[in-house]
Structure 1
């Protein structure tokens, strides 16, 4: 009877060991103690085996210590338990303890000890155990041999592992599985597949473990076709319900790009375990089905399975992608509540989640608390800083960790380069470039592309182009980076050439390339080329792409076709803030201020909140239309209505509005009340306002600030000189000239562009470099005669160079925009619109001339200057003559004369045959406009007879005198009392307004 009881307890304990049921085992031990069977060796060994398998080593050691003579079975159970639970160091210590007692290993002990060596990567000890195996004669035992194969492989000795496998006399399926496992775990997937074929040929039938390992190899290779064949074998052999095989199938389908089949296999698992849940959740995250991943996590929790580190790592990625801060913090709290020590993967997941939720301080706290910071954690933190535009923190951390010797890789360099670009720090880019060369990353495609992108964003296009040219096989991102850089910096021609090279290499452009090309066309005002890129967008199927749609709106708006821009805007499938802002800005630039403001109202009704760029466009629209009150209302309510703090751009726009509306004092007050230091755009707006109002004091103050902020910009010198000239301070004008010369600042020459048949033609004043220049000048002469008959008289008062009147008329006739328009008229079909872009503001004479020309030739002429678009049609301009004349009007509605910049050297660009002696001087107002300037007919004749003025030029300063004539109006219908007019004589004089 006692023997039967012993058999019953032994069998029961074996069953409990299989199910890892610790508590029932403790109860049985108590019962055995009560009935006096606790000292039975079989019961004791079974209990030690149970406790060791359950990880309750304190109970196992207690039984071992209480045993009068623990045998090999007891020690083997303990060592096996340590090894199976991953405690390799403890297993090895127990082995040495057993060995010191004089007990020798058997075929059951050796596999456990060798497994412990595998866990600890103790190759030297493993070789010693191997020697003992040989000495004791167990090398032919298949289980010991299989474990030796695994031990050598996991210690990195795959060749020795394969040799041992070949020496196994009778290889069984476990032997093959051991080798498969070694190959797949070391990423030798092709070798694993070949060995699987050898196993089939040898006649060994695969089991579920074999097929699971081969599925892992298929997963590593991304070979879903072969994976489906293995799936068929599983079904045929009846292993499809095996949990290991099912989990491997879920993982294979998910990582092979077939999430649908992965979910199908997962749903067929009767009782999914933690590995099953981890595989499907990780698969959902991999396929960016983040909401489904969160749903799976909730289902797992409801099924009673607690997430482990792998689960949390995937779940945190989903939280990061969806910016689910609350859930992410909840998972973090769960870790703290369970007192779970964070492993590196979960720590990295937390860092990534907090960074994606814009909580870089919390992410940095996790990073700083990590006991062993590795490169993965560093990359997560540095990338988080870079993505959140915490660029200084990114660079500081990189320098700190670099000095600590943590190291870096491509990912680190990409983040640092992105931050360097954000800081506009070309020196940092060069340092990282040098570091990449020194560390051998200069040939890495990602680093090359990032360097091109960063140099481009830092305006170092030559460096960007050099790196691109040195790349042996530039890929699509390389082209995209450089094309984007060219487009952003206004070098559209280079961008288009690069696009042709891309096509020549057989690369297919993506939506980003098309968007960049459209932006390049926008900067060039290249309407025809933009339409061709539009055709490419249609052909390539990118019309549903939001970036391409927005770029189309921007391109057409900046190329002078607001109608096409509106059509493109209506076709954008999901209009976001960028779409609305592009269209509102386009309408504003084209002079449709009311339509722009109406569209802004429609945007708000559509539930789209504006950003700071949208509000800049709104203020710009108000500025174009002179809507001061509306502009002030939007500016004052930005924060309360839209939660947007006014930026430098908003202040600059508002100051421009006030300045053009005659409210200079209000503009000055606004500058003084700014909550931060004004930048160049603000001071530039104030300088422009000072020029309008001829306020020398304000102009000098603004110019001094700009000289400090932008010493290389010539525009500041030009505007300041014009202010001095407007009040007759010619000595100060000469000082500005000397300052420019001493500072080596050169004024940007006036240039105009026109696109004809896919080519961009550039003109400067008096240009005769074009092959059809004779035709162009003949066309201008023809137009001049027709305009004269229509009543046009050249506004020579807008050009005050020290030349004869006839030469002034020639100078005005040969302005770059007139040459471009004339070429357009002879090179395009009748009736086609003429589109010209100019890099400076259009002068008053050209503006007036184009109103005559558009009516004579019955064509629309579209001029895009530095400020806006001018649509000349049927004798009028879309700007309503407001913008061209800086918003100044006389009380009778007439406008002052505004020419180009004072420091222009257009007189020096006269055609050779039109140059004459410039020693004599005289400035004549047009006699055909009596009374326009408040001068009577008699006064006009008197002015015409005032010739032969003596030019008083200082030989040292080059300054000239300025005589101020104050003329009272002779007619009541020209109420221009108290208006002063300057007749200024000087070798470089020009606009007075």
Structure 2
């Protein structure tokens, strides 16, 4: 084993920062550049940088008695790849003699970081530029929509190559100037296949698929077998598939000779069928493949999972020769989606190499099916095994905290959010809901107003719903009006919260107005929960005739929440006749439920009608209906 390889193998075993520092410095600096030679030293530095030991590499670099241009370039390129442009520039300025590689490394680094002015300064200072230099600047300007400056450089460029033409064509298309991209392509002395591919991709991104197909047919001879031409055809298949134009996608796919089709061709066409919901055609094409890669198998399994055909998914999974973690994750999420959490857990446990998606899938499954304690237990195990949570993990766990109505747990999850992730909108939404449902509307409000990311309709719904849950009708309605003034289009869930707020505050006229606004202004079809809230607020005011009119106008049969609202109001106003009818309707919907009997009994008891109350209790006993724990004979 060479000295260099020996040192590197030691480095890989180092875990503690202090140990790593000692080993790196002592082992390499002890040997001079003359003994190892520039080539070995540079190779060793490059290996260290690529493995993430850039700080140690810099210390060794500083101790070297002699350095050549490659040594400097290796160190500068290491900083550039890590986007540490300040450190790269310091070395660049200290470098005694630079070559074209040095200048190109700095220019490309500035461009990739978006520092185009710094890149241009170096470009203008550079005495000898190569095609890479020109192309880097042209591409940088084009990608940042500075197409005029890109074109000026392109026209000045002494020797253009395919990369130059492709960069400009892509730039025009990226900037929405498709016609200029086509014109530039037509100017090309030789229509290069890479440039054709750039034009086709640009046309597709600008929704000009037919034009892309015509250009490809006219200038692309796929029989040539060139990989980038096949890539262009594949891109068009994907473009049609993503837009649901599966027949057009198939026509393009069929234009590719069988011998030229690659995995991407087949997989893209299968995905197009699956996106269109045609699982049968996707499977027929899958079966025609002579050779399949892992993506082919996963795509087809995922297609079955999405339509809840887990038996077919299992058959393919069982036949699959080389499963990866994604394959196992699909089975976990698939069984969870059809409600078989036990089987989902089984596949989770059997997954050989779990990743964050594996953990998130099973945690989300437990949260979805309200096994909140198990969701938390899995998270504790995940933490023990060293897997760090991401926003998806924490969103599920915050929802579990809400389900458990456990403020302490929710606050612990909030601390993990602060320490480990940059919260996205779903995490903020989950935090707002968790605090409000766990009784802390103050912190819920604080999170809502302190959000640094753009609030979505779900965010507004969470806060409005929180106010409604706490009976703060005025705050809920004020926030609803603020939401509309901010240009946010309310959803059907928004109106559920607004109507609930009106019901809690007894705002009958406001409830009617909002219900009509939902239907007439926002064209939202009322759902059961909207009718339930409207019936609730009207019944609470003793306006039973109007409440029954609302029920009769419903396009579907009322559920237990509607009749429950009527029955609750009947108890307030001692409306015995309607209460009896509402209780009968509820018992027909849920024959085993004790709720309607208990509500009716309590109303009779309040009125002192003990004979009627006894009859209700007797009927309940005759039907062998047991009183639920939450019910009370009060």
Q: TM-score of the superposition, structure 2-length normalised?
A: 0.66
Residue in structure 1 matched with residue 426 of structure 2 by the alignment: 345
- Alpha-carbon distance in structure 1 between the residues aligned to 2:46 and 2:388: 27
Residue in structure 2 matched with residue 420 of structure 1 by the alignment: 502
Please, which of 340, 356, 369 is the counterpart of residue 258 of structure 1? Answer: 340
Contact 1:92-1:113 at 8 Å conserved across structures: no
Task: Describe the SS at the equivalent of 1:401.
Answer: helix
Task: Describe the SS at the equivalent of 1:472.
Answer: coil
- Alpha-carbon distance in structure 2 between the residues aligned to 1:165 and 1:29: 55
Contact 1:253-1:262 at 8 Å conserved across structures: yes
Contact 1:395-1:416 at 8 Å conserved across structures: yes
Distance 1:55 1:64, change over 3 A: closer
Please, which of 338, 356, 361 is the counterpart of residue 437 of structure 2? Answer: 356
Contact 2:331-2:344 at 8 Å conserved across structures: yes
Residue in structure 2 matched with residue 453 of structure 1 by the alignment: 536
- Alpha-carbon distance in structure 1 between the residues aligned to 2:53 and 2:266: 37
Q: For residues 910-969 of structure 1, give each alpha carbon's deviation from its aligned partner in whole angstroms, at most 9, with x where no partner exists.
A: xxxxxxxxxxxxxxxxxxxxxxxxxxxxxxxxxxxxxxxxxxxxxxxxxxxxxxxxxxxx
Does 2:632 match 1:546? no
Contact 1:219-1:227 at 8 Å conserved across structures: yes
Deviation of residue 236 (structure 1)? 2.3
Residue in structure 2 matched with residue 440 of structure 1 by the alignment: 523
Distance 1:508 1:530, change over 3 A: closer
Q: For residues 151-185 of structure 1, give each alpha carbon's deviation from its aligned partner in whole angstroms, at most 9, with x where no partner exists.
A: 4555777776565445544355433433454676x
Q: For residues 357-392 of structure 1, give each alpha carbon's deviation from its aligned partner in whole angstroms, at most 9, with x where no partner exists.
A: 222222222212334222110111111111122222
Please, which of 248, 268, 288 is the counterpart of residue 202 of structure 1? Answer: 288
- Alpha-carbon distance in structure 1 between the residues aligned to 2:193 and 2:591: 62
Distance 1:196 1:129, change over 3 A: closer
Any residues of structure 2 matched to 1:289-300 within 5 Å, and which? 289-300=371-382
Does 2:385 match 1:315? no
Q: Which 5+ residue runs of structure 1 have no aligned equivalent?
A: 83-87, 555-581, 583-993
Residue in structure 1 matched with residue 578 of structure 2 by the alignment: 494
Contact 2:241-2:249 at 8 Å conserved across structures: yes
Deviation of residue 482 (structure 1)? 3.5
Distance 1:360 1:531, change over 3 A: closer
Deviation of residue 422 (structure 1)? 0.9
Q: For residues 510-568 of structure 1, give each alpha carbon's deviation from its aligned partner in whole angstroms, at most 9, with x where no partner exists.
A: 55455545555656652465146514763xxx626323xx35xx2xxxxxxxxxxxxxx
Contact 1:154-1:182 at 8 Å conserved across structures: yes
Please, which of 265, 283, 291 is the counterpart of residue 175 of structure 1? Answer: 265
Residue in structure 2 matched with residue 726 of structure 1 by the alignment: none
Does 2:366 match 1:366? no
Q: For residues 429-478 of structure 1, give each alpha carbon's deviation from its aligned partner in whole angstroms, at most 9, with x where no partner exists.
A: 11122212313335433322332233223333222211110113214244
Does 2:273 match 1:229? no
- Alpha-carbon distance in structure 2 between the residues aligned to 1:536 and 1:159: 64
Count of aligned pairs: 516
Distance 1:211 1:294, change over 3 A: same
Contact 2:538-2:547 at 8 Å conserved across structures: yes
- Alpha-carbon distance in structure 1 between the residues aligned to 2:252 and 2:56: 42
- Alpha-carbon distance in structure 1 between the residues aligned to 2:200 and 2:509: 55
Any residues of structure 2 matched to 1:174-193 within 5 Å, and which? 174-181=264-271, 188=276, 190-191=277-278, 193=279
Any residues of structure 2 matched to 1:360-759 within 5 Å, and which? 360-370=441-451, 371-438=453-520, 439-477=522-560, 478-498=562-582, 500=584, 510=593, 512-513=595-596, 515-519=598-602, 522=605, 525=610, 526-527=612-613, 529-531=615-617, 533-535=619-621, 538=624, 543=626, 545-547=628-630, 550-551=631-632, 554=633, 582=634
Contact 1:456-1:485 at 8 Å conserved across structures: yes
Distance 1:517 1:183, change over 3 A: farther
Contact 2:528-2:559 at 8 Å conserved across structures: no
Task: Describe the SS at the equivalent of 2:392.
Answer: helix
Task: Describe the SS at the equivalent of 2:315.
Answer: helix
Q: For residues 767-823 of structure 1, give each alpha carbon's deviation from its aligned partner in whole angstroms, at most 9, with x where no partner exists.
A: xxxxxxxxxxxxxxxxxxxxxxxxxxxxxxxxxxxxxxxxxxxxxxxxxxxxxxxxx
**Aligned CA-pair RMSD:** 5.0
Contact 2:222-2:257 at 8 Å conserved across structures: no
Q: When you count helix as a share of all residues, which structure comes out higher? A: 2
Residue in structure 2 matched with residue 69 of structure 1 by the alignment: 130
Deviation of residue 244 (structure 1)? 0.8
Task: Describe the SS at the equivalent of 1:546.
Answer: coil
Contact 2:216-2:233 at 8 Å conserved across structures: no
- Alpha-carbon distance in structure 2 between the residues aligned to 1:246 and 1:265: 7
Deviation of residue 132 (structure 1)? 7.2
Q: State which structure, 1 or 2, has the greater radius of gyration over its C-alpha atoms.
A: 1
Distance 1:436 1:38, change over 3 A: same
- Alpha-carbon distance in structure 2 between the residues aligned to 1:149 and 1:12: 45
- Alpha-carbon distance in structure 1 between the residues aligned to 2:54 and 2:488: 50
Q: For residues 121-143 of structure 1, give each alpha carbon's deviation from its aligned partner in whole angstroms, at most 9, with x where no partner exists.
A: 95359888878766763777443
- Alpha-carbon distance in structure 1 between the residues aligned to 2:597 and 2:44: 72
Please, which of 234, 238, 245 is the counterpart of residue 150 of structure 1? Answer: 238
Contact 2:304-2:312 at 8 Å conserved across structures: no
Deviation of residue 230 (structure 1)? 1.5
- Alpha-carbon distance in structure 1 between the residues aligned to 2:153 and 2:208: 14
Contact 2:48-2:57 at 8 Å conserved across structures: no
Does 2:321 match 1:238? yes
